[in-house]
């Protein structure tokens, strides 16, 4: 049996003087193999990802690690978590702050801690997220355009949707892609809400990937069909008013099909919200009152 340890990485302190650390649990097998980083809580209000890794740590038996190492960080953005906020207190998004700087903003310092101390040790990264506040993501794996290794690992993870996405500037995915390492982003559920389906699929996906890498023993009797999508885009509100949804996440849609309708507050006017192309609803807003330009449905397409 190898060594297990808790590594604390200092990132700053609160105005009260309390010091804040990123807690990283490391499992090492005696046998060499890949180093897999399991990461969640980059956005402090995305609870499902934190819960996936919390449950993983609670139930994982170190003796079952056959080879390689695991680095598990269930909560990266502790500042956001304490404030039940997506971002850090200065309003910046950690996932738009990479590679970061130890002399930069608070978000940049959190990103720098991960980039400097953790990412160089990892060979493969699994990053867990949810939708934003009031926005639900149907379980999906996102990977960077042209990243074949990540695409293949995404198939192993076996979420319902596998989506190729462009690389976003200053994101974790960009830093990892530049380093030539595979990264999967699991998106499922909604911020500040617990979703058992999203959690269970995330735990299952971790086990499938680790078994594929011959790091653990895990047999999965079910193989879900995967819908592979080449991109996605949001259908936004053309008018303000009361939004009545007619489609839900996971539904297939056709170009021109009515997804929902917006009704005016004062006048008996109704505006249909139609899909602009064939595809699937991979995410949706739960807002009943919408403004012009609000994101309503996230449509993935072939």
Where residue 287 sits, what CATH number does that domain have? 2.40.50.100
pLDDT of residue 103 exceeding 70: yes
Query: What's the whole-model pTM score?
Result: 0.96
Q: Taking the CB of residue 120, how many other CB atoms lie within 10 A of it?
A: 9
Give the per-residue pLDDT at 161: 99
Residue 141: name the closest of 124, 120, 126, 123 by CA: 126
pLDDT of residue 117 exceeding 80: yes
Number of domains forming the structure of the chain: 2
What is the span of the domain harbouring residue 47? 4-227
Structure tokens that stand for 22 in this block: 């990123």
Give the per-residue pLDDT at 2: 61
For residues 44 and 107, the answer to whether their CB atoms sit within 8 Å is no
User: 166-188, pLDDT tens digit by residue?
Assistant: 999 999 999 999 999 999 999 99
What distance separates the 2 farthest-apart alpha carbons in the chain? 71
**Are 183 and 278 part of one and the same domain?**
no
**Are 184 and 212 part of one and the same domain?**
yes
Q: Taking the CB of residue 141, how many other CB atoms lie within 10 A of it?
A: 26
**Are 197 and 273 part of one and the same domain?**
no
Dihedral sign of CA atoms 8, 201, 130, 35 in order: positive
Q: Taking the CB of residue 122, how many other CB atoms lie within 10 A of it?
A: 22
Using the 8-state DSSP alphabet, how is residue 57 labeled?
Answer: H
User: 231-261, pLDDT tens digit by residue?
Assistant: 999 999 999 999 999 999 999 999 999 999 9
What is the chain's alpha carbon radius of gyration, rounded to the nearest angstrom? 20
**Which of the listed residues 175, 205, 227 is the one where a domain comes to its end?**
227
**Are 171 and 271 part of one and the same domain?**
no
**Which of the listed residues 179, 211, 227 is the one where a domain comes to its end?**
227
Mean local confidence (pLDDT), 67-87 = 96
CA–chain centroid gap for 159, Å, is 12
For residues 130 and 103, the answer to whether their CB atoms sit within 8 Å is no
The CATH number for 52's domain is 3.40.630.10
**Which of the listed residues 162, 194, 227 is the one where a domain comes to its end?**
227
* Percent of all residues in the chain with a pLDDT value above 90, rounded to a whole number: 93
Instruction: Compute φ and ψ for 6, nearest 5 degrees.
Output: -110, 120
**Are 262 and 164 part of one and the same domain?**
no
Dihedral sign of CA atoms 36, 42, 44, 48 in order: negative
**Are 133 and 252 part of one and the same domain?**
no
**Are 40 and 159 part of one and the same domain?**
yes
């Amino acid at each position: 049996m190898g060594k297990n340890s808790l590594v604390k990485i200092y990132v700053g302190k609160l105005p009260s003087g309390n010091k804040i650390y990123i807690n990283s649990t490391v499992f090492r097998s005696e046998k060499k193999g890949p180093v897999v980083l399991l990461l969640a809580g980059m956005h402090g209000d995305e609870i499902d990802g934190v819960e996936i890794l919390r449950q993983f740590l609670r139930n994982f038996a170190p003796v079952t690690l056959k080879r390689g190492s695991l680095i598990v960080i269930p909560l990266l953005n502790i500042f956001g978590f304490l404030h039940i906020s997506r971002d850090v207190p200065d309003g910046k998004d950690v996932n738009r702050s990479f590679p970061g700087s130890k002399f930069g903003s608070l978000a940049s310092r959190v990103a720098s801690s991960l980039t400097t101390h953790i990412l160089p040790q990892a060979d493969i990264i699994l990053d867990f997220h949810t939708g934003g506040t009031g926005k639900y993501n149907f379980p999906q794996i996102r990977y960077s355009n042209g990243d074949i290794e990540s695409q293949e690992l995404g198939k192993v993870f076996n979420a319902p949707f596998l989506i190729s996405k462009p690389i976003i500037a200053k994101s974790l995915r960009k830093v990892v892609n530049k380093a030539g390492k595979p990264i999967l982003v699991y998106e499922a559920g909604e911020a500040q809400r617990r979703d058992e389906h999203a959690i269970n699929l995330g735990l299952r996906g971790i086990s499938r990937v680790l078994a594929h890498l011959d790091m653990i023993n895990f047999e999965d009797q079910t193989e879900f069909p995967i819908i592979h999508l080449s991109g996605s885009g949001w259908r936004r509100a053309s008018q303000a008013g009361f939004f009545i949804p007619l489609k839900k996440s996971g539904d297939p849609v056709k170009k021109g099909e009515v997804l929902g309708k917006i009704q005016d507050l004062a006048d008996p006017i109704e505006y249909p919200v139609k899909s602009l192309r064939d595809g699937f609803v991979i995410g949706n807003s739960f807002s009943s009152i919408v403004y012009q330009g609000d994101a309503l449905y996230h449509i993935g397409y072939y």
